[in-house]
Structure 1
Amino acid sequence: MANLRLGNRIKVARAEKNLSQEELAVLAGVTRQTISSIETRQYIPSALLAFVLAQKLAKNVDDLFFLEGDEE
């Protein structure tokens, strides 16, 4: 489990909705930098923020976020 990382499809989902990072940030109540950091996997969002992003992007949380890495 030590090598697992949280991957995401935020950038793809944003593109499907024609939203910029700034526009999604406003909808979710966070900064553009937060969205950028999530997309580049530098920041792991809280469960609450993950659900808010999913809601704003009309996706299920598990459509946006997934585990990647060693699966033993």
Structure 2
Amino acid sequence: MKSELYDAALKKFGQKLRDIRKGKKLSQEELAHLCQLDRTYIGGVERGERNISLVNILRICKSLDISPSMLFENL
């Protein structure tokens, strides 16, 4: 069963990812291509609908040239 805390954490993480992606002037499609993930998956993560795996966090961070800790700041 999902809790409000769980949902809030996913949404905050997704918003942080969206902010960083947009700051780098990338579309969801461009980011998805760089990290070899589907565009709809990136969209789901950004909307807080998906519980992203560690492996995919690392793939995204490598593609954005950021440290994973950046995605977890102020969650």
Compute the TM-score of the two structures, normalised by the length of structure 2.
0.76
More helix by share: 2
Compare CA radii of gyration and give the structure with the larger one: 1
Q: What 5-or-longer segments of structure 1 have no aligned partner? A: none
The one of the two structures with greater contact order (alpha-carbon pairs below 8 A, sep at least 6) is 1
More strand by share: 1
Say what the alpha-carbon RMSD is for the aligned residues.
Answer: 1.8
Letter in 2 for 1:25: A
| Count of aligned pairs between the two proteins | 67
Identity %: 27
Letter in 2 for 1:60: S
Q: What 5-or-longer segments of structure 2 have no aligned partner? A: none
